[in-house]
Amino acid sequence: MDGGSHVLDEPGRARLEATYREVGDDLWRAVLAYAGGRRDIADEAVAEAFSQAARGLDRIEHLRPWVYRAAFRLAAGELKRWRASTTGRSVDRRGDPDATEAMTEMMELVGTLSPAQRRAFVLRDLLGFPTAEAAQLTGTSDVSVRVHLHAARRRLRAHLEEAAR
């Protein structure tokens, strides 16, 4: 991790490594789904979130939700920059070559959701986090997660019904 000139002490390093072992894979999968299957964005967002955590570890009380929020924020910024740079151009949306057509279509549908809806859908429906934990990880309330999840499901259902016609 790029900690710059900041050097972690042994307890800090152990805390960061334990958190990475505990949540790294789930966080990467959540960001991958949030980013519509863009592995490059998931890789960069998770790595940078842990890098930022290392630099500010002494100021972070609850590390797990902090890295989730940071990774989602970083991925959202990357997606915004990517969309701005591709506006008006034809973009290859196939993503990972071994992705199935159904998964690609689902990722495209998830990409139509607002960032808050996408976070709620990914954490609750794709990764199975309880509402309270999804709220903690995103720094929102249980009610906010439920509202955004309901809107996401309604929007996805409408897209699927329209496609079935």
The reply to whether 99 falls in a domain is no
Residues 81 and 126 in one domain: no
The reply to whether 47 falls in a domain is yes
The reply to whether 148 falls in a domain is yes
pTM > 0.75: yes or no: no
Angle between helix 101-111 and helix 142-164 axes, rounded to 10 deg: 130
The reply to whether 103 falls in a domain is no
Work out the burial of residue 8: count CB atoms within 10 Å of its CB; fewer than 13 is exposed, 13-18 middle, 19 or more buried. middle
Measure the CA–CA gap between 108 and 91, rounded to whole angstroms: 12
Domain end: 39, 61, 94, which one? 94
Number of domains comprising the chain: 2
Residues 162 and 121 in one domain: yes
Tokens 């991925």 -> residue: 75
Residues 121 and 79 in one domain: no
Residues 90 and 117 in one domain: no
Q: Is pLDDT above 50 for 3?
A: no
Tally Cβ neighbours within 10 Å of residue 31: 27
Residues 14 and 73 in one domain: yes
Residues 117 and 82 in one domain: no
User: pLDDT digit string (tens) for 100-142?
Assistant: 465 667 777 888 889 999 999 988 988 888 999 999 988 899 9
User: pLDDT digit string (tens) for 11-48?
Assistant: 989 999 999 999 999 999 999 988 888 899 999 999 99
Residues 79 and 20 in one domain: yes
Domain coverage including residue 141? 112-165
